[in-house]
Amino acid sequence: MEPGVKLSSLETETYYPAFKAHDARFDGRVFAGVSSTGIYCRPVCRARTPQEQNCTFFPSAAAAEAVGYRPCLKCRPELAPGLTPTDASTNLARRAALLLEEDCLRKDSLKKLAQSLGVTSGHLSRLFVTEFGVSPAQYLQTCRLLLAKNLLTDTRLPAADVAFTAGFGSVRRLNALFQKHYHLSPPALRKQRKLSNKGAPDVITLYPGYRPPYLWDNLLAFLAARTVPGVEYVAGQAYHRTVAIPHDGKTYRGWLTVQHAEKKKALAVTIPVTLLPVLPQVLARVKDLFDLRCEPWEIYHRLAVMNEIKDGMCLPGARPPGCFDAFELAVRAVLGQQITVKAAHTLAGRIVSVYGTALDTPVDGLTHTFPSPADICGLDGPIENHLGALGVTGARARSIRALAEGLLSGEIDLSGRPDPQMQMEKLLALPGFGTWTVHYVAMRALGWPDAFPHTDYGVKKALAGRTAKEILALSEHWKPWRAYATINLWMC
C-alpha cells in the first residue's frame, strides 16, 4: 500500500462501525482522517462521529499526517498504545518502529537502523509502507511531532526543552514543522490546554495509553513480590524505581513513579526534568515493563480455550510484566534459579548495596541504580571472590559475569529489538543458562510473546498431572501468545 492511500471499501466497512462504537480494541491499530475537519482521530475519540463518506482510514498516525491531516486535540493520537510484534514481517517493521520511537534517531541514520535489523534500507522501507502506510522517515517525523505535542500539552517545559527532547535540534525547527503540519504554533497549542498549576516544577507527568481491560493490580502485585531492594519499590498502588540510561557518552540517573490513571485508560509516569535527555528511552522502557502495546481481546480470543481446562484460568487483560533494565532482570533470573523468590530478593539487594551506584531520590526505598555490565566486568580477579562473599554460588556468579561480558561486547543484545529467538540461542550457550532461565528472560526482557518456560514450578502446578512433554503439546494451542498463557497460569 502506498503512503496515504485509502484502505479498501471492505476495511472501511469494518472500521467505521468500530469508530462509531468507540471500540478500544482498534485503538492504535487504525486512525480516521475526517475530510470535513482536516483532523485525524483515534477510534476511542468522543467527539461527534463524522459521516462515513467523510472518513478515510489509515494504519498509522504517520500515514494520516503524510496526506495533511492534523491530530485531534480531544482524543490526542500521541497517547494511543502501540502494537505488539507477532509474525516475521510485521515483527521486523514494528521492531524498527519501536527503535524510532525510543530514540528518535538523533544521530543514527535510517540506513544504520536497517543494518542493525539485518536488512537493506530499501527492504525496510517496503515493509514500513506495507505495515504503516509511510516510509521510515515519515514515521520518524511523526514520532517527533507527536512527542513534542505531548510535552507542550501536558507539561510547562520551555519550548527549547521540548524541541531538543523531541529531537528537533532547535525551537525554530520545531515551530516551522508544527506550523506546516498542524497549522498551529506551539504557543497557540498551549493556550488551549487546561493544565493545573499544581505540581513540582522540577518533575513532569505524561500519560501513555493502553487498550483495556488492564489487570493493573495483578501486574503490580507480581512486581511487588520481585522488587530489587534499593532499585524498586511498590507502595500505595504505585511503582517506583531508579533509572540509569547511557546516552551520548553519559549516563543519566534519576527515578520514576508509575501509577494507574484508570479514567484516562493510561498510566501516569512521573520523572524529574533531569531525565529529559533520555525521555523517549524512559517512556519506551515503561511501555515495555507494563506491556502497554498489548492487544488484550485478540490475545484472549486465542487463549480462551484455556478455560476448558479450568474455569477462569484465562482472564482478559492479564499481561506478562516486561522489564525496565534487561541486565538487571537477567541477573535477577539467574539469582532466582532453584531458590525462593524471597531468597533471590535478598541476594539482589546485597549486590545492589555493594556494587550499585548510590543515588539521592525523593522516594523512600530508592537508594541505588543497578550495577551495569561494565561495573561487573570491571571487577578484578575471579568473580566468585566478589559475589561469593554476598552469598551467590560460584556457578551463578560465573553466569552473571558471562552475561555481562556478552552484553558489553555486543555479542548479546537484550534490548528486545533484535530477533528474540537468535538472542535466546546465544543465552543458552552461556554457562548456567538453561531452558527456564532463557524463556523467562525472553518473556520479560526480550518481550517475546511466545516465550514459554514450561518447566516453571507455577506452570507445572497450574497444569498438575501432566508431564513436561504433555504441557508443551498442550501449549501448541496457545501460540503465538504463550507468554500470556504463562502469566494466566501463574495467576491460578
- Integer Cα distance of 476 and 406 in angstroms: 32
Short-list 175, 361, 155, CA closest to 256? 361
Q: Are 443 and 326 in contact (CB under 8 A)?
A: no
Catalytic residue among 104, 419, 456, 492: 456
What is the 3-state secondary structure of the chain? CCCCCCCCHHHHHHHHHHHHCCCHHHCCCCEEEECCCCEEECCCCCCCCCCHHHEEEECCHHHHHHCCCEECCCCCHHHCCCCCCCCHHHHHHHHHHHHHHHHCCCCCCHHHHHHHCCCCHHHHHHHHHHHHCCCHHHHHHHHHHHHHHHHHHHCCCCHHHHHHHCCCCCHHHHHHHHHHHHCCCHHHHHHHCCCCCCCCCCEEEECCECCCCCCHHHHHHHHHHCCCCECEEEECCEEEEEEEEEECCEEEEEEEEEEEEHHHCEEEEEEEHHHHHHHHHHHHHHHHHCCCCCCHHHHHHHHHHHHHCCCCCCCCCCCCCCCCCHHHHHHHHHHCCCCCHHHHHHHHHHHHHHHCEECCCCCCCECEECCCHHHHHCCCCCHHHHHHHHCCCHHHHHHHHHHHHHHHHCCCCCCCCCCHHHHHHHHHCCCCCCHHHHHHHHHHCCCCCCCCCCCCHHHHHHCCCCCHHHHHHHHHHHCCCHHHHHHHHHHC
Short-list 456, 405, 447, 455, CA closest to 430? 405
Instruction: Tell me whether residue 87 is one of the annotated catalytic residues.
Output: no
Q: Is the dihedral of CA 226, 230, 234, 239 positive or negative?
A: negative
Catalytic residue among 41, 75, 143, 314: 41
If one counts every other C-beta atom within 10 angstroms of the C-beta of residue 252, the result is 18
What backbone phi and psi angles, to 5 degrees, belong to 74?
A: -90, -55
Lookup: cell for 167: 529531537
Short-list 38, 32, 76, 82, CA closest to 52? 32
Instruction: Tell me whether residue 143 is one of the annotated catalytic residues.
Output: no
Q: Counting beta carbons within 10 angstroms of the beta carbon of residue 183, is it exposed (0 to 12), middle (13 to 18) or buried (19 or more)?
A: exposed
Give the residue numbers marked as catalytic: 41, 456
